[in-house]
Amino acid sequence: MDLPVLYPPQYTNNRIVGGEEAAMGVAPYQISLQGTKSGQHSCGGAIIDERWIVTAAHCTRGRKASDFRVLTGSQILNQNSSKFYYPDKIVEHCNYAPRKFRNDIALMHLNDSIVFDNATQKVELDHEPLVPGSKLLLTGWGTLSLGGEVPSRLQSLEVTYVPFEQCRAAHDNSSRVDIGHVCTFNDKGRGACHGDSGGPLVHNGKLVALVNWGLPCAKGYPDAHASISYYHDFIRTHLSVDETSAEDEEDMMKGNNGHC
């Protein structure tokens, strides 16, 4: 295929193309991952526990926990009432392969517990298989058109689930599409693009996937996202690590299928 993979870029902002301003309260689990010094939005992510965020590994690669702050409970970037939390640990998937776009998922542990309220909530993880044509909600801070300005307000877009075989065929059977991905499609001119990498895709109120990569933004090819159900063991292993003994943890860390 002649078209280059356009995202994930290193430390630039993936953006939703063709979205619209999100309805108030539609995604209380949504976070903005920002540079501690710059205060600039770099990636999306989701709250999955009072001290844990899930995002894409390419958002954190080569950086320290202290390089980030996490905005919660706001659909507007950097407003005066914004609530920030600070990571003290980053856990990238042990088999993350940047060049192959595999296992692109990471967890961030916060140094303080998130205070939940109407605007800030964790999202439940989805484990049910999707059926072709299922509608997912993609949210993030993105441009309204390719190359447009970045709005300060959260954007949303409904996208359609594409089965693995169909997605891989659309990408000329590229190995970049693997069983750890959930693929989505929308009309040409609408979809994920530079940013909102790590951003959540939700089905029936449950987290299904995180934005990973795609071909040139919203050009009519399916986008590929990290499957939450595929990486369930990876997520649960680290969320429960404080409740297990070292021996139990070692046993839990054995295995494959997204588990490490």
**pLDDT, tens digit, 9 for 90 and up, residues 29-57:** 999 999 999 998 889 999 999 999 999 99
User: For position 254, what pLDDT does the model report?
Assistant: 43
- Polymer length in residues for the chain: 260
What is the rounded CA–CA span in Å between residue 139 and residue 210?
10
Specify which residues 224 forms β-bridges with. 183, 213
Q: Answer yes or no: is 62 within a domain.
A: no
Q: Answer yes or no: is 171 within a domain.
A: yes
Nearest in space to 52 (alpha carbons), one of 72, 66, 38, 36: 72
Please identify which of the residues 197, 225, 227, 238 carries the catalytic annotation.
197
Tell me, yes or no, if 104 is annotated catalytic.
yes
Q: Answer yes or no: is 128 within a domain.
A: yes
Residue-number span of the structural domain to which 158 is assigned: 124-227
Q: Answer yes or no: is 83 within a domain.
A: no
pLDDT greater than 90 at residue 24: yes
- pLDDT tens-digit series, residues 151-204: 789 999 899 999 999 998 888 888 888 999 999 987 654 555 545 789 999 999
What is the rounded CA–CA span in Å between residue 209 and residue 4?
23
Q: Answer yes or no: is 100 within a domain.
A: no
Please identify which of the residues 32, 42, 58, 171 carries the catalytic annotation.
58
* CB-count burial class (<10 Å; 0-12, 13-18, 19+) for 68: buried
User: For position 99, what pLDDT does the model report?
Assistant: 85
Q: Which one-letter amino acid corresponds to residue 2?
A: D
pLDDT greater than 50 at residue 232: yes
Q: Answer yes or no: is 204 within a domain.
A: yes
Please identify which of the residues 32, 41, 104, 181 carries the catalytic annotation.
104
Q: Answer yes or no: is 169 within a domain.
A: yes
- Average pLDDT over every residue of 101-114: 96
Q: Answer yes or no: is 251 within a domain.
A: no
- Average pLDDT over every residue of 119-136: 95
User: For position 190, what pLDDT does the model report?
Assistant: 52
Q: How confident is the model at residue 239 (pLDDT cuts 50, 70, 90)?
A: very high
Where residue 148 sits, what CATH number does that domain have?
Answer: 2.40.10.10
Q: How confident is the model at residue 7 (pLDDT cuts 50, 70, 90)?
A: very low
Tell me, yes or no, if 58 is annotated catalytic.
yes
Asked if residue 8 lies in contact with residue 58, where contact means CB atoms within 8 angstroms, the answer is: yes
Tell me, yes or no, if 248 is annotated catalytic.
no
Instruction: Please give the tally of structural domains in the chain.
Output: 1
